[in-house]
Amino acid sequence: MQQQTQTNSNQTQGAQQMTHGGHELFDMHEVLGCTVNVLDQFMMFRQFVQDKELLDILDRQYNFTLSQYNLTAECFSTGQKPSQETATYKIKDMSQPIYGIKATQPKKPNQSLADVKDAGISGQMLGLIKTHASLLTMSAVEVTNPVVRRVLASQVENFIEMAYEIFLYQNKHAYYQVPQLATADMQKMLSAFVPATGTPQMPGNNQAGITLH
């Protein structure tokens, strides 16, 4: 009887420690695997970067991503608050986007590693960071552990900032150009929605269980 009681106690303690849902485990493996992929590819990109500004962005984003990976892996394995706080990513040199299209050379696939340039590297970086921001968002709403959920959610805005920083770099160098609609068309689009006014007349909630036809 004593052995059975001890076994039940151990099972209860084990259940308390395993504070993760099954679906959450698969999501978290995908999140952490994707983070490792971002870090590994940023490391590989570094040898091809020529522009000092892009190199600075790459290094700062690598270091930030590594710090977030470490605390995410820690709180996932323990189910508890990580030993370090989640940080806030700051864009070093915020500038205004440049609108409009100017003529550039047509793009085509690289024929050798000698063709790898900053335009392509920054484009690869942007794609990775945008994908990771989306994955963090989708996973955060599926996670049941409250600590892990908050850790993932806190990172979403940071990766959005990182993506925007790379976009600003690309935009400044005309790697990522931003077309605009004609002024008249833009104005029509901007005025297509207006705020709601007055108090909405909400219907009853059918607590009586009346069959609706």
Q: What is the mean pLDDT of residues 44-60?
A: 97
Burial-class residue 55 by CB neighbours within 10 Å (0-12, 13-18, 19+).
Answer: middle
Q: What is the pLDDT of residues 29-42, one digit of tens each?
A: 999 999 999 999 99
Query: Considering the entire predicted model, what is its pTM?
Result: 0.86
The residue ranges of every structural domain in the chain are 7-96+116-177
Query: Could you tell me if residue 177 is left (phi over 0), alpha (psi between -120 and 50 degrees) or otherwise beta?
Result: beta
Q: What is the pLDDT of residues 151-183, one digit of tens each?
A: 999 999 999 999 999 999 999 999 999 999 999
Rounded distance, CA 39 to CA 18, Å? 28
Fold of 7-96+116-177: Ferritin (1.20.1260)
Residue 22 tokens read as: 């099954």
Positive or negative: CA dihedral 44, 37, 60, 134: positive
Tell me if residue 32 falls in helix, strand or coil: helix
Question: Could you give the count of Cα atoms lying within 13 Å of 24 in the half-sphere of its Cβ?
Answer: 18
Does the pLDDT of residue 89 top 50, yes or no?
Answer: yes
CA distances from 158 to 81, 126, 133 (A): 19, 13, 8
